[in-house]
Amino acid sequence: MDFRWYSLYTLLGSGIWCAILCWLGIKIGQDQMKGEYHKIVIVVSGAVVALARCIYFFVHRHMKKKPVMK
């Protein structure tokens, strides 16, 4: 992959990630014992678990392939 494209994708990905974390921090900081924090933690935890499962599934499936022998 060309370094410029790699840098662009890395910048975009980190920008999205930072925006999500910033929004999450603002939402958690506004929680004044309303219980929103609990809901946000559950949703984020579920998303992290789902993402981890997807990554494991695709990487594990790719690693299980047997090399082609000539």
Structure tokens at 22: 């910033």
Tell me the pTM: 0.46
Residue 69 reports pLDDT greater than 90 = no
Give the pLDDT score at 41. 80
Whether 25 contacts 38, CB under 8 Å:
no
Whether 27 contacts 36, CB under 8 Å:
yes
Q: Do 20 and 46 reside in the same domain of the chain?
A: no
Would residue 33 be called left, alpha or beta, if left means φ above 0 and alpha means ψ between -120 and 50 degrees? left
**Could you give the number of structural domains in the chain?**
2
Q: Do 22 and 46 reside in the same domain of the chain?
A: no
Give residue 67's pLDDT band: very low, low, confident or very high (50, 70, 90): low
Give the pLDDT score at 31. 65
Q: Do 19 and 43 reside in the same domain of the chain?
A: no
Q: Do 38 and 65 reside in the same domain of the chain?
A: yes
What range does the domain containing 8 cover? 1-30
Q: Do 24 and 57 reside in the same domain of the chain?
A: no
